[in-house]
Structure 1
């Protein structure tokens, strides 16, 4: 009986690891990179100017794709007033209308927040960081998953809600050296605990 339990737990872990790490995911093609750039920099609502996205950076991002996870650092500066001239708090950029669309999209592709924080005054000079209202670090399973999220019509439609509350966003993709929060290993520890209890 313990052997059967251990096999079941191992199958659960391997199935989750396969989905969470995207064992089958292939790198982006150059053509997909062009579509990604268009999705990141395109005009999403009529009164919104195009975003400042570096085409060379997106090209390098695509051409160096290894099909593995990466992290996206988002440095957000909120508007002080919204369209109704009402005061906006530091985390109003997590608009409910935006979050209820985007977060399910992220989770569907095994992507999730690693850190959501409000920055304090910086120690360094010049103190440009003091302009940031919020810091987000999002774990993406792969660059292809980012591609699928931002090219999704639901995401493009929801983006207008975020634009109503933020003034600017600095976005920096990065490769993990010492990975942060990893749900795969958390699940693994839980399954080991269940196995020990079952034994």
Structure 2
């Protein structure tokens, strides 16, 4: 193996990581006032939202800081049979929620996001006060968004609107809100993918030295 071969291995590894960061990071900065007005205009007449929800959305995107964020979601899935919005057949409600997820996730990934944590609830409230009784939540999830612009690209995507009936039929109750980090040990792909690429490059480099 020559020195050129070693540089080639690490050069390819660096290129792969840079391509990942080119997709994963927000390089366009904060939303502009024109972009905000455009996105809000696309929500006019939408059947899958309310004026109150649009107002909260407006406040959120007007406060854009250009950074990525995690959306916290909690869901009470419908476990009983309901009418399929497409076929009319009676199907388990949770299967429609799963079908919605299969339609939602590719759009999320296409806009630089991804599921960060998905967990199934396995017990009742361990500690609570000043809140209503547990309605029977079934799933919690954290979804990573590359930016508020990318979130809006997903919101106005026709595929998202088309999938909304599945979400309604498969969900008895839900709420979500955006979050920013304060503390924790969550390791995002910027770190673990970089380490994985470096590990593969190092192993490849060592193997070529023995040839």
Under a length normalisation based on structure 2, what TM-score does the superposition of the two structures give?
Answer: 0.76
Tell me if 1:108 matches 2:110. Answer: yes
3-state secondary structure, aligned to 1:94: helix
Q: Relative to structure 1, is the Cα distance of residues 121 and 33 closer, same or farther in structure 2, using a 3 angstrom cutoff? A: farther
Deviation at 1:133, TM superposition (A): 2.2
Tell me if 1:76 matches 2:82. Answer: no
Paired residue for 2:148? Answer: 143
Paired residue for 1:128? Answer: 132
Task: Please report the RMSD computed on the Cα atoms of aligned residues, expressed in angstroms.
Answer: 2.9
> What is the CA–CA distance in structure 2 between the aligned matches of 1:151 and 1:63, rounded to whole Å?
17
Deviation at 1:76, TM superposition (A): 1.4
Tell me if 1:192 matches 2:198. Answer: yes
Q: Deviations over 1:140-191 (max 9, x none)?
A: 1111111011100111011111111112321111122347352232221111
Provide structure 2 residue ranges, at least 5 long, that are not aligned to the other structure.
84-88, 206-211
> What is the CA–CA distance in structure 2 between the aligned matches of 1:159 and 1:39, rounded to whole Å?
14
> What is the CA–CA distance in structure 1 between the aligned matches of 2:151 and 2:134, rounded to whole Å?
28
Q: Relative to structure 1, is the Cα distance of residues 181 and 36 closer, same or farther in structure 2, using a 3 angstrom cutoff? A: farther
> What is the CA–CA distance in structure 2 between the aligned matches of 1:27 and 1:41, rounded to whole Å?
26
3-state secondary structure, aligned to 2:174: strand
> What is the CA–CA distance in structure 2 between the aligned matches of 1:145 and 1:181, rounded to whole Å?
21
> What is the CA–CA distance in structure 2 between the aligned matches of 1:196 and 1:146, rounded to whole Å?
37
Number of residue-to-residue matches in the alignment:
191
CA contact (8 A) 1:116 1:135 kept: yes
Under a length normalisation based on structure 1, what TM-score does the superposition of the two structures give?
Answer: 0.80
Provide structure 1 residue ranges, at least 5 long, that are not aligned to the other structure.
45-49
3-state secondary structure, aligned to 1:73: strand
